[in-house]
Structure 1
Amino acid sequence: MKTERKEENAIVIDILPMGYVSEPRQAYKREPIVQAVGLDQFKLFELITKQGADVQIHDRVYIGDAEREKIERVKRRISYEDLTATAKLELPFVVEQIVRENESRFVDFFNKSVPITPKFHMLHLLPGIGKKLMWEVLEQREKKPFESFADISGRIKSLPHPDRMIISRILREIEDSNEKYHVFTSR
């Protein structure tokens, strides 16, 4: 479902204008740090902003290889544990925003998901989907591919909020580094 490639864009989830307080360097030597989540694979990043760049929480910033407007460089990839308290609070809202903006990409998951093993299907990875609901999804998508989250919830009455299931799964993959299957995120 996903491919390993570089993130091109990210959404800011926290800004530390004076860097980390716990950093042993003197305050005037610290760099302004931005924590962000990638749009495609939900990778977590620590970014260094350009001098005088105005960056706000929920801003979309370019982090690809070409000329960057607000970001000087990508300092490193970080794990969920490295996020600040503010970033941890903002992460669910940003993930929800990304899922809603890219609805067709996540609806395709319902249309194109395949068995992982003979007894375990990709749909089982979503919270709340068991064998019975999985078979109902497979039957409905065989009749006609799903077009939107509203279409999914309309055709499958016991699946009222498929978008929330996707969001929950993405957050679980980000938060738990020991998760065996990464469907939407990159390790």
Structure 2
Amino acid sequence: MSDTSPADDEEYAVVLDFLAHGRSDGRGYGDGPLAYAVSTDRFTLYELSLAPDADISILDRVRIRPDFEAGIDRGREVGYDDLSDGARSELDYVIEDVVDDEEQRFVDFYNDAQPISLRLHQLNLLPGIGDKLRDNILDERKRGPFESFADIEDRVDGLHNPREVVVERILEEIREDDLKYQNFVRS
């Protein structure tokens, strides 16, 4: 018997752009409606082929795993460069919303981050966090777990806006497909 429930296998994405007539770049224009979306768990980018009568709009939250939401015929993972301009412009806002909606998940990253190697720590992958700031974070979390982004900012000297630091790293991991280490994006 498995220890995971069916809900543990569910994954959702937020629609970044909806193209009623498909791509306009000559690669399948008129093939039917499609949408671009980003998953809220693994931050994977998707191109979703939609049924002609699909009731899906920008910023809708749709199920993508274990099976697609009604109205989505099929989907495939895509890279940042494959997104439409509209999807790219929405991505920053959607990532900010996900981080806000799931604040504890990202606060727990600060609580649980571990060394990657003898010389590199997961915290060092965050923008603006060098060895000194990393050590300050590690010292403060020994005193007790962080409760919120505000708690992190209050307790760690020199770390301003820990929420924005996480958002910036997620976006960097989405945009750059050749990063050696990733904290948040998984395909």
Q: Same fold (TM over 0.5)?
A: yes
**How far is the alpha carbon of 1:67 from its aligned partner?**
6.5
- Following the alignment from structure 2 to structure 1, what is the Cα–Cα distance between the partners of residues 114 and 132? 16
1:139-150 equivalence runs, <5 A: 139-150=139-150
Match of 1:31 in 2: 32
1:5-44 equivalence runs, <5 A: 8-23=11-26, 27=30, 30-44=31-45
For the 8 Å contact 1:106–1:166, the answer to whether it is kept is yes
Match of 1:49 in 2: 50
Identity %: 41
- Following the alignment from structure 1 to structure 2, what is the Cα–Cα distance between the partners of residues 26 and 96? 31
For the 8 Å contact 1:15–1:34, the answer to whether it is kept is yes
Match of 1:132 in 2: 132
Q: Does 1:77 align with 2:88?
A: no
Paired residues, number: 180
For the 8 Å contact 2:48–2:72, the answer to whether it is kept is yes
Superposed CA RMSD in Å reads 1.8
Flag structure 2 segments of 5+ consecutive residues without an equivalent: 1-7
Tell me the TM-score normalised to structure 2 length: 0.90
- Following the alignment from structure 2 to structure 1, what is the Cα–Cα distance between the partners of residues 56 and 162? 32
For the 8 Å contact 1:61–1:70, the answer to whether it is kept is no
- Following the alignment from structure 1 to structure 2, what is the Cα–Cα distance between the partners of residues 15 and 174? 20
Flag structure 1 segments of 5+ consecutive residues without an equivalent: none
Q: Counterpart amino acid of 2:71?
A: K
**How far is the alpha carbon of 1:156 from its aligned partner?**
1.4
Match of 1:100 in 2: 100
**How far is the alpha carbon of 1:72 from its aligned partner?**
2.5
Provide closer, same or farther for how the CA distance between residues 7 and 37 of structure 1 changes in structure 2, counting only shifts above 3 A.
Answer: farther
**How far is the alpha carbon of 1:117 from its aligned partner?**
1.1
